[in-house]
């Protein structure tokens, strides 16, 4: 590659990634692709990946294009060729790693949810605030903000095309736990995952609701349920969301499903549902927002499409229009294919990498910040608190003042 | 008509209808059509219609095919040629009329919601129970149970095709109140309508949830909202859902929107949302039910279609299938058009008339009974109670034992 | 009914219907309903129905609400209480009946296709032209023009919202002949039906293409196919599109499928496909029209929806919008239910009855005229001619000048 | 990368690409990604890219990850580190380059359409056949075969799930030429592009029809049209499908739209339409195949979904099911994300690269072969011939015997 690399290439930004399973593969794809598609001010270099199993991490490095492999995340954080640490581990290790990385002078990208508890998230947000003073940036990986249709929905709302928001409804349904013999992976253990559908799926939809509406949730009323309370203990390794189990069984310690209603700061009503027990729904994140002047609707299983209803249209010609969010003027699309050529799930990680690289180069705070991630964590905690108290409406502490949100 | 009427025509069943606005027109269409399409054991005769304005009721009788017009509902109830009283008035008069009609020895069909309060509904259910001993039948007009796709969904669930129900989600969205200058019709006044979106739309979706799942709701956690709190006072008459207002304004005393979560007797989670403030959603009753073995989904704006996912299918060929519920073996379809020929909204009223006539002829209790209507009313009351107490989970009194439900 | 009938009721228009199977049932529903829903200048009276089997026609009269039954269509045409003859028989009898009725001084509604041959259709159109001088009106029953979404599409095109039309594509797929044991009903016999999918389904889509584009087809290139060439002889009566067969088999003498391309007078390209051999497609008439400035799309299985793309929109917000054609300002909708309440297949027959009654009352030519029906017949004949000559482009004789078409 | 590369890495396969515009970018993405996702027997190395403009090709090499840049395609073909030549130039240069590369001992991947004429395609197919004897493989880039839903549709058909095919309909609509001021790029010049919508879009749909049905087209009847016959001459460079024009105008020498019907070898009827003049249709390749026992439908704008109707299902539960083709057992999906996580357009190029690498490693002929590409070219030529002869049915020469097709 050296023969073409000299002429005016931008400076390198060394990335080190910790964890290399499903999220690690997706992040790798993002880091590899971003500079091939976008004009970036810094050139991400896949410097090293860390994981505990030496052979496995070495294979992962080879597969995903990381130049080196480490078996100790502290060693990765300490590397001179790493300026940005990308955390793709389960939630129970996020706080320790992120704080250590920031204190070691690295920028940080941390997978969602930010942490497994509000206390951890607060510590992380505080660490991010301190690091900010030293020019270090921290971002949480709510990648669905980077679906072009979602980013464009935010733009429409920010431009006032919906008027004041009145209703937000978001449902995130999967079905990989319908089979009662699906085994007890770490995602079903409270000590590792923090919570179940709530933290995994609910975190996404809470973040999207707040991001799209441009205002925080101020209270929730919730119910949680674990439909299958015992599952086979894990036999061997899991991959992605698939795994196989043995004959012994153990208790599921997280929720299978979470349903909650809420209020946004403006008084808008929000309804949320997250479940891993919805047969036929594979990755069905569906959202709709109704405002005074229009509505938008989105379905992650058709992620190139945004439905938009403009209530200012005469009734005879009005209707939800299906916008194929593949035009050059749509967010992120200037760099991709001609109109109508579909993007997929993994593109969100390339967009995330782009936005973070741009922020690092310019020294501006990327979104969602750790403070945003903390706010989501507070909502999740309020959900659990409400579910433990007969669904009573439970306020979510909101930082004052509400941070202004940049438009895409 | 006499020249063709003699040969073996079934006995007449005289029907008297009270109220002749939107619901009156729809019920009339149902009564006129049922015997033209279905083989009925009794022949409905549109004997008389009642309303307060003499000229208007006379015109309505002429328009909709009622043989006589009355200006006093008591006179209609007293007519010898009326064996069945069909109540299409606002909710505040349901109890008085229905109880009087039953006591006068008439069968009764009462529009939903059954009443504006639990107390009224209890009195009506008690009256229906007493009348039952005299061979009189009472039914409440939750017409959406008679959409063929809904009736077929119930059949699939009753047959066990979904297994145990885990999730019910139903949303009923309209947008006719988005315009802040839409005037204060009776539907926005608590004294006449009882409640707003909750009683009008919420009653439907609560009934459908209980009907489809085959079990009652046992508790709810709710929030209500009135987004536009003052509206122009009504100028002139309203028609259907349209009306125009003057320059003075008065307070809206019902909810614009209701959101609530709930539990069914089996422990299944339910989520409901009813709103008249969702731009672009005209009559968008959307429901999905997830069970252990499959899922169904339905959208009233595409009422000839039922989406069904059979989780027993191999994953490679599985998917929500779009069943056009227009086959001869689908509920009610034996009498209509060839496959693929769409039915519409008003057909539900013909189906309702059919089912009621069959029940009257055979002396069996039609569904939904006044007891079913009372149960819905109890849920609505629990919703209002919960909304008044910080959304705390509020039990719904459930009659013991849970009544067995007939299959379609 | 007499007690309410006197006050200002409009004059009666006696209707006599010949044939009482599928189409007869649908037309009956239209005649019964039109005056209940629309404000009509004349009151249709279902005077008499005719059919060859005395018991069956008597039963049909009773079922569908006709005051009298006749076993000879000539007797029906001769009745003094019949001013309009509605022909619902197979195509081979259309010409004889229609011409006789017009010559007997009756208005005529004739089911589509107008005839089984161009010669018959020419004779009918000539008879209609002669009768027109005596104030008699003739109309052909292309009911799909009366689907509100189709009528509204025509309005959009006539208003120039699509600009000049460039592409028309219409597909009409059914699957009731996929089963090779479906028997040989009259619809599969050339002598009765004239042709197969071509005349039954193709006639509809040719008419719609010409109606929507507002211009005639001037040439076609076609292929026809009969996939199942022998079928069981019919055992017993058929009903609707269903029937059962015996063990002997006979030749199918009509096409199962027709595919053809064509040119409209303006040079626009048209593509047509009609088949009864498309598994899973029940009544799938799908059309799309692309113009210089926009596009519309429609699917009869979702007949309340019209998709409309306005190419003048900025690309970022443009997209096919789903118009629910249920607003009061949409064609025919002033008389029906509130927005979002679906209409069905049979409503087209009520709309057809309305439009014809209005035309009769005002003495204006209703559309589609027999001349329009003849034009469709010429296209079908050109299709058969082209298919017999290696698909060579075959001109369709077009009357000069092209008749101006009224806007809906 | 050296630190992780040693352990058991597969041998390298040097790739040289000629052309670096839209297709070049897409192919680059495919070559870069394939080995990161799939387990490949050879490791593709992006050795060099060629183009005429030295600065531009150097920038492209840098952007897309090619190790070296050449300004003469012959130099690229001659490079020792190139074992496979990937041709992404306009169609008029395909034959010369492909034949030279094969004769130079390189494997070849050639973008579709294979050539601009049958004669060129025949020479290419002959060259491929000769080269095959020396162990060299040639493949044409009909990438849409590698959409997982399309590959899975082929599998269903090959397994007999549809029975004998009766109908194929494929439409490919775009709208980037609707604007009459879109300039005259090379794609609108016959000398460079060979034809217009026909060769660009029509080639894809002809290939898909033959691939999915598993049999060749044996004749066609066609019409072509150029709606906008003059366009502004190009001002400056074009990118992707976008470009800008100056004030002078020149003649468009290719078709804007092609419509044709055809016959497959089995007698099945096929209908095709390709247009760049369909407002609102961006990349709308829609296909449906009806067989004796079922149907499939696909829409490239929703490329993760396959609609499948199994006619063996009882009618009451039958319907087109929406299969999300994202399960591990679906073609290519073993390597990607969990179920429901969407793939996009560019993934087809990674799949193409995978299949070609696997074929090279095993020495088996990849599909589609140059013979397959020639067959498509013959269909396109027959289309043009038919369009020039009044659409008369024009046979397509078919090689005997019809080559057996591998199943996916």
Q: Is the pTM of this model over 0.80?
A: yes
* D342/A341 CB distance under 8 A: no
* C7/B58 CB distance under 8 A: yes
pLDDT digits (tens, 9 = 90+) for B147-167: 999 999 999 999 999 999 999
* C317/A315 CB distance under 8 A: no
Kindly list the partner chains of chain D, i.e. chains with 3 or more CB atom pairs below 8 Å: A, B, C
Per-residue pLDDT, B247: 80
* C67/B342 CB distance under 8 A: no
Contacts of B277 in chain A (CB under 8 A): 166-167, 290
Start-to-end CA distance of chain A, whole Å, equals: 34
Per-residue pLDDT, D236: 66
Average pLDDT over residues D125-143: 97
Per-residue pLDDT, B236: 66
Q: How far is C185 from chain A, CA to nearest CA, in Å?
A: 41
Between D136 and B193, the higher pLDDT residue? D136
- Residue from D39, D72, D42 nearest D57 by CA: D72
- Residue from B232, B28, B196 nearest B116 by CA: B196
Strands D107-111, D294-299: pairing kind: unpaired
- H-helix segments, B38-182: 54-64, 73-78, 94-103, 118-132, 148-158
Per-residue pLDDT, C134: 96
Query: How is B265-329 classified by DSSP, letter by letter?
Result: TTS-EEEEEEES--TT-SSEEEEEEEESSEEEEEEGGGTTEEEEEETTS-TTT--EEEEES-STT
Tell me the percentage of chain D whose pLDDT exceeds 90: 90
Residues of chain A with CATH 3.30.360.10: 148-395
Per-residue pLDDT, C39: 95
> Burial, B397: exposed, middle or buried (Cβ in 10 Å; 0-12, 13-18, 19+)?
middle
Where does residue D319 fall: left (phi above 0), alpha (psi -120 to 50 degrees), or beta otherwise? left
pLDDT at A319 over 80: yes
Residues of chain B with CATH 3.30.360.10: 145-395
Please say whether the beta carbons of D40 and D357 come within 8 A: yes
Tell me the percentage of chain C whose pLDDT exceeds 70: 94
* C318/A319 CB distance under 8 A: no
- Residue from A221, A342, A233, A317 nearest A270 by CA: A221
Contacts of C1 in chain B (CB under 8 A): 65, 67
pLDDT digits (tens, 9 = 90+) for D53-108: 999 999 999 999 999 999 999 999 999 999 999 999 999 999 999 999 999 999 99
pLDDT digits (tens, 9 = 90+) for A46-92: 999 999 999 999 999 999 999 999 999 999 999 999 999 999 999 99
pLDDT digits (tens, 9 = 90+) for D397-407: 987 554 444 43
H/E run at residue C181:
none
Q: Which of C317, C333, C334 to mutate to test the interface with A (most CBs of A within 10 A)?
A: C317
- How many angstroms from the chain centroid is the CA of residue A299? 16
Per-residue pLDDT, B342: 97
Kindly list the partner chains of chain A, i.e. chains with 3 or more CB atom pairs below 8 Å: B, C, D
Average pLDDT over residues B102-130: 97
Per-residue pLDDT, D235: 75
- Residue from C395, C150, C403, C82 nearest C297 by CA: C150
* B280/A391 CB distance under 8 A: no
pLDDT at B308 over 90: yes
Q: Which of A65, A239, A338, A348 to mutate to test the interface with D (most CBs of D within 10 A)?
A: A338
Per-residue pLDDT, C4: 43
Q: What is the DSSP letter of C242?
A: B
pLDDT category of residue C408 using cuts at 50, 70 and 90:
very low
pLDDT digits (tens, 9 = 90+) for C3-41: 444 456 799 999 999 999 999 999 999 999 999 999 999
Q: How far is A219 from chain D, CA to nearest CA, in Å?
A: 31
Per-residue pLDDT, C235: 75
Per-residue pLDDT, A247: 80
Please say whether the beta carbons of D64 and D24 come within 8 A: yes
pLDDT at B3 over 70: no
CATH number of A148-395: 3.30.360.10
pLDDT at C167 over 60: yes
* A330/C317 CB distance under 8 A: no
Average pLDDT over residues C159-185: 97
CA dist., res. C293 & res. D175, Å (int): 11
Measured CB to CB, residues of chain D less than 8 Å from chain C are 166-167, 169, 171, 173, 175, 178, 221-223, 225, 227, 257, 259-261, 263, 267, 269, 271, 273, 275, 277-281, 288, 290-295, 309, 311, 318-320, 390-393
List the beta strands (DSSP E) in B174-238: 217-225, 230-234
- How many angstroms from the chain centroid is the CA of residue A353? 13
Average pLDDT over residues C118-129: 97
The dihedral formed by the CA atoms of C57, C62, C66 and C70, expressed in degrees to the nearest 10: 30
Per-residue pLDDT, B404: 45
Q: Does domain D147-395 have CATH number 3.30.360.10?
A: yes
Average pLDDT over residues C128-143: 97
Return mean pLDDT, chain B. Answer: 94
CATH number of C145-395: 3.30.360.10
Per-residue pLDDT, D247: 80
Average pLDDT over residues D262-282: 98
Q: How far is A390 from chain D, CA to nearest CA, in Å?
A: 34
CA dist., res. B17 & res. D44, Å (int): 79
Contacts of B29 in chain C (CB under 8 A): 33, 36
* D68/A4 CB distance under 8 A: yes
* D344/A340 CB distance under 8 A: no
- Provide the β-strand partners of residue C239: C242
Between D21 and A96, the higher pLDDT residue? A96
Handedness of CA C171, C197, C157, C38 (dihedral sign): negative
Q: How far is C302 from chain B, CA to nearest CA, in Å?
A: 7
Shortest CA distance from B324: residue in chain D:
D319
- Provide the β-strand partners of residue B172: B274, B285
Query: How is A178-222 classified by DSSP, letter by letter?
Result: -STTS-B-GGG-HHHHSSSHIIIIIHHHHHHHHHHHTS-EEEEEE
Fold of D11-143: Rossmann fold (3.40.50)
CA dist., res. A86 & res. A109, Å (int): 5
Please, which residues have CB within 8 angstroms of residue A124's CB and are 6 or more apart in sequence?
A94, A95, A98, A99, A110, A114, A115, A138, A370, A373, A374
Per-residue pLDDT, A246: 73
Per-residue pLDDT, D3: 41
- How many angstroms from the chain centroid is the CA of residue C100? 21
Q: Say which of D3, D64, D282 has its CB closest to residue A326.
A: D282
Residues of chain C with CATH 3.40.50.720: 2-143
Average pLDDT over residues D148-174: 98
Average pLDDT over residues B53-79: 97
Per-residue pLDDT, A237: 60
* D167/C392 CB distance under 8 A: no
Average pLDDT over residues B110-120: 95
- Provide the β-strand partners of residue C49: C17, C69
Per-residue pLDDT, B237: 60
Per-residue pLDDT, D170: 98
Per-residue pLDDT, C334: 94
Residues of chain D with CATH 3.40.50.720: 11-143
Contacts of D278 in chain C (CB under 8 A): 167, 288, 290, 295
pLDDT at C371 over 90: yes
CATH number of A2-143: 3.40.50.720
Kindly list the partner chains of chain C, i.e. chains with 3 or more CB atom pairs below 8 Å: A, B, D
Contacts of B257 in chain A (CB under 8 A): 166-167, 269
- Residue from D176, D189, D221, D51 nearest D116 by CA: D189
Contacts of D340 in chain B (CB under 8 A): none
pLDDT digits (tens, 9 = 90+) for D190-209: 998 889 999 999 999 999 99
Average pLDDT over residues A121-142: 97
Q: How far is C138 from chain D, CA to nearest CA, in Å?
A: 36
Contacts of A331 in chain C (CB under 8 A): none
Tell me the percentage of chain B whose pLDDT exceeds 70: 94
pLDDT at C185 over 80: yes
- Provide the β-strand partners of residue A170: A272, A287
- How many angstroms from the chain centroid is the CA of residue A124? 16
Q: How far is C331 from chain A, CA to nearest CA, in Å?
A: 10
pLDDT at D6 over 60: no
pLDDT at B403 over 60: no
CA dist., res. C167 & res. D273, Å (int): 10
Per-residue pLDDT, A232: 95
pLDDT at C236 over 70: no
* C1/B65 CB distance under 8 A: yes
* B338/C22 CB distance under 8 A: yes
């Amino acid at each position: 590659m050296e023969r073409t690399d000299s002429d005016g290439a931008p400076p390198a930004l060394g990335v080190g990634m910790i964890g290399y399973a499903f999220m690690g593969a997706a992040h790798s794809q993002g880091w590899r692709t971003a500079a091939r598609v976008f004009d970036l001010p810094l050139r991400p270099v896949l410097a090293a990946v860390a994981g505990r199993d030496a052979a496995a991490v070495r294979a992962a490095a080879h597969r995903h294009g990381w130049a080196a492999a480490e078996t100790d995340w502290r060693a990765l954080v300490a590397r001179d060729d790493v300026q940005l640490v990308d955390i793709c581990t389960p939630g129970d290790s996020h706080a320790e790693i992120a704080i250590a990385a920031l204190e070691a002078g690295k920028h940080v990208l941390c997978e969602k949810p930010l942490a497994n508890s509000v206390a951890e998230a607060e510590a992380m947000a505080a660490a991010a605030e301190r690091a900010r003073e030293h020019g270090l940036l921290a971002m949480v990986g709510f990648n669905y903000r980077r679906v072009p249709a979602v980013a464009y929905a935010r733009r429409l709302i920010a431009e006032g095309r919906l008027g004041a928001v009145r209703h937000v409804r978001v449902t995130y349904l999967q079905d990989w736990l319908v089979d009662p013999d699906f085994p007890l992976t770490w995602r079903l253990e409270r000590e590792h995952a923090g919570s179940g559908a709530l933290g995994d799926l609910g975190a996404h939809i809470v973040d999207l609701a707040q991001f799209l509406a441009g205002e925080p949730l101020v209270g929730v009323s919730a119910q949680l349920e674990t439909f299958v309370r015992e599952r086979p203990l894990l036999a061997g390794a899991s991959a992605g969301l698939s795994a196989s189990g043995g004959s012994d069984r153990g208790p599921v310690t997280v929720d299978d499903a979470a349903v909650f209603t809420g209020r946004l700061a403006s008084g808008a009503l929000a309804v949320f549902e997250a479940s891993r027990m919805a047969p036929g729904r594979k990755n069905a994140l569906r959202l709709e927002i109704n405002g005074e002047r229009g509505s938008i609707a989105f379905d992650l299983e058709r992620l190139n499409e945004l439905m938009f209803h403009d209530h200012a249209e005469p009734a005879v010609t009005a209707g939800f229009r299906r916008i194929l969010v593949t035009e050059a003027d749509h967010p992120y699309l200037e760099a991709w294919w001609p109109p109508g050529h579909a993007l997929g799930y993994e593109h969100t990680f390339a967009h995330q990498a782009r936005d973070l690289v741009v922020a690092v180069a310019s020294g501006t705070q990327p979104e969602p910040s750790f403070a945003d991630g903390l706010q989501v964590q507070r909502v999740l905690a309020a959900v659990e608190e409400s579910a433990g108290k007969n669904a009573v409406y439970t306020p979510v502490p909101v930082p004052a003042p509400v941070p202004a949100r940049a438009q895409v």
